[in-house]
Chains A and B, each alone.
Chain A
Amino acid sequence: MRLIWSLLFLTVPILGVGLLAMSYFTPGGWLPANISEAGPETDRPLYYILGITGVIFVITEVLLVWAMWSSRGHSEGGKSHYSHGNTKLEIAWTLGTAAILLFIAFYQIPIWSAAKYYSQRPKGKVPDVLVEASQFLWQVRYPAWDAANNRLHALNTLSPDNALSFEQVNELHLPAGESILIHLKAKDVLHSFWIPAMRVKQDTVPGNLAPVWFKIDPKQLEKSCLVATPAQPVRVGDEVFTELYQYEWTCAELCGWGHSMMRARLIVHPNRADYERWLRAASKDWLNKTTAAAP
């Protein structure tokens, strides 16, 4: 029986490592794509922790199995090894574990602060878009094109003006290759703005305005996510787009019965020029629609 039970417990480290390895090597079985410029940096602590906890996991589970297997068992009788403990051993593993934990803790602080500390946000930058969450959709507000001065209006995220900005539902267009600042709001309940491919997640709290910032790395954009190509271009008004990438983003905080339907598309433009071309076309489109709707 000792053998059977020891083997059963031995399956834990074997399957534990095996299942994760299987996932790692299966296409689509591991982390989502990562198109953020800070992405490799954000993912690095995961691999550190995976390595450290993986080793500790295997060692402790194998020690447990070994302890079970080497125990003399009922049939052989006899007494156990009489010991109340070992102070030196206790001190050693306490200090060792503490050192590992403190390393993990302090190693990651710069990565977290770059992603989230307000002091690290792009300074002096007008927000690119305002994302407002409500049950169960995302309203994305963009600055409208100022035709008179041939530039974009500045986006006022505190009280957006319908003449100076326009809105799209569940579709977030962004350019690659430059730092982006998004302001988040919620209208009714908590939601969470999550773009898995950007390693960005931020709850939206009604009454609070939350900034998020990141930079899309044009080198990481995947061919498999192309939704516009020269062969299959996308038209917006008079403009034609031949290179657009699509990623999905979603709500990560329970917001009611429609929570799992609160999904949206992130459309990445390869550069700023392409993005502004789209803003110009889309705001003209919006202007046409709103003036047509007015009596």
Chain B
Amino acid sequence: MAAAHDAHDAHAAHAHDHGHELPFWRKYIFSLDHKVIGIQFLFTSLFFLIIGGLLAGAIRYQLAYPNAKFPILGDLLWADNAGKMTPSDYVMIVTMHASVMIFFVIIPMLTGAFGNYLIPLQIGYKDMAFPTLNMLSYWFMVPAVICIVMSFLSAGGAAAAGWTAYPPLSVIQQASPGSLEGQKWWYMSLLFVGVSSMMGSVNYMTTIINCRAKGMTMFRMPMATWAMFITAILQAFALPVLTVALIFGLLDNLGWTSFFVPANLDGNWIVNSHRRAATGGQPLLWQHLFWFYSHPAVYIMILPAMGMVSDIIATHARKPIFGYKPMVYSVAGIAGLGFIVWGHHMFMSGMAPGLGTAFMVSTMLIALPSAIKVFNWIFTVWGGNVQFTSAMLNALSFVAMFIIGGLSGIYMASTPTDIHFHDTYFIVAHIHYVLFGGSLFGFFAAVYHWFPKMFGRMMNERWGKIHFFFTFIFFNLAFYTMHNIGIMGAPRRYMNLQPLVTPEQAPVMQTMNLLISHSVFALMAIQVIFFVNIFYSLFFGPKADANPWRSNSLEWQTASPPPHHNFVTPPVVYHGPYEYGHPDLPEDHLNQTDPREIRDIGHH
């Protein structure tokens, strides 16, 4: 192993000498450098964050003013509907908002951007184990992007069967305008995203297992890398199932097969146009396959954020992470249990109710590792020397919001209460507390924290805090109140939330919807600050030194930005990543590369 390392090192040094001679397109476009690939993922997902956000704005305008003409774009898009959004386009926008946010924003921005950027740096290696595969992983996003754009442009509009694409709606072309062409592009787009994720996953696992620096044992890895590692395992086991389901769905939609099309459909549109030779498929099969991937996918979207937030909280609280090993085990526990809870999406689907009971119990248990993590984060902050930086505030907010998102999950995990909450805004509130309150706040924290490393410049702290303050307030106003209308029984994916039960509810519902929509508009406007801060700081931010946060992990023990192949000399690791505030040392942190020995204390 040592010899192999030396050979690598010689190669690394050699390559480093020539690193600057690479032509522009090799260095920044078809780059093999994990840092550049990570940044490519970062900007791609930021672009799609804008698209997904605008789609959310359109949804919220419609819900706030269900009978009004749509501003600005109304005359252009819906001229023959008096400028009002059409029902089929509403469902399409809802579908695409979720699809874009999940598959083109959250997954690429966490595993794609930060997974790529951080893993080799945090384990002290020059690059990923398979740099070419890594490059392909990014470039497989390009056909995915082309397909999702084609979905919008195709006849009948983009896919409109929800991001869950339940058949038969998604596979019978006559069932929905979106199922004509848009849905086919949607299937293909997700297939490419899946291939991209799979390449990343294989690479992350191989790199973390084989390429750690000397002294970097598994239990000296920072939580971010641990989380990326476990996420990669999740992806490797869950993605094949989604791939199969997507191919089945695509074939069904083309009319060649009937995996999900039951016999004897007699919708008005099917009688004459149904040209399948054989039928007899089962729609619930898709739900099982889809959720077997998509429930773990929820953890794929939150675990990396959990890992990064753990690093950020320890660094900015100047304190070792409380219960490092329980943190690792609970990430692994979430991942393991994550594979046996998918049926909780299907309590009302017609799945055997007894099976529902089994999934209910496993789902309750998955709250346990999540709770352990929350307690550990809180006790990491406790007694710390907290630096209230933008990164830290967003990380703390991740914890505060994840508490809500985690606890609200229990209401749907509980089978009797799910009867009422299933497919209402309570679910919408829950998923946004996990994916926005969790993943996106985690992402903001990660950007503020690692931006100096990525680009060698600091972001503006004052504007970072202003961005955080208003994001925090408007996020909560927008999404907490969705619990309220969910309790009232507002169904999701409705373009008009008139009261369902009594006229008494009408004014309450309307007030709530106005509050939610205007908070979302404000939330969107505030994000301009974030984008301007990024692009301004990219060029004009003050220069960052190698370790502006006085952090211990290896990525901070090299220049900002790190040179091609990361480390001038291969690092050697002597400590865990969280040695902050050790009483024997004059300074309050101890780099992982610092050879000084310290007393092993602090365990109780």
Contact = CB atoms under 8 A, between A and B. Distances in A.
B393 A196 contact: no
Interface in A123-176: 134-135
Interface in A58-78: 60-61, 63-64, 66-68, 70-74, 77-78
A108 interface: yes
A201 B348 contact: yes
A87 B602 CA distance: 11
Nearest to B409: A53
Given A93-B375, A190-B169, A199-B420, A104 B383 contact: no
Given A83-B602, A97-B372, A188-B168, A104 B410 contact: yes
A67 B382 contact: yes
Nearest to A251: B491
Interface residues of B, number: 120
A84 interface: yes
Contacts of A263: 500
B422 interface: yes
Contacts of A205: 262, 283-284, 349-350
A34 to B, nearest CB: 9
Given A85-B376, A194-B491, A257-B177, A1 B388 contact: yes
Given A31-B420, A82-B582, A53 B410 contact: yes
Given A117-B353, A188-B267, A256-B175, A8 B417 contact: no
Given A19-B480, A257-B87, A82 B601 contact: yes
Interface stretch (B9-17, B295-303, B357-365): B357-365
A187 B499 CA distance: 27
Given A9-B396, A205-B350, A256-B176, A70 B383 contact: yes
Contacts of B342: none
A295 interface: no
Contacts of B403: 57, 60-61, 64
A60 B378 contact: yes
Interface stretch (B103-111, B190-198, B481-489): B481-489
A81 interface: yes
Contacts of B381: 64, 67-68, 71
A208 B263 CA distance: 10
Interface string B257-270: 00000111111111
Contacts of B602: 82-85
Given A9-B400, A67-B381, A68-B386, 17 more contacts: A12-B400, A12-B404, A19-B481, A23-B484, A28-B505, A63-B382, A67-B379, A81-B581, A82-B583, A93-B375, A201-B420, A203-B350, A205-B283, A205-B350, A256-B88, A256-B175, A257-B91
* Interface pairs A-B: 8 shortest CB-CB: A188-B267, A207-B262, A28-B504, A81-B383, A257-B88, A85-B323, A116-B353, A260-B494
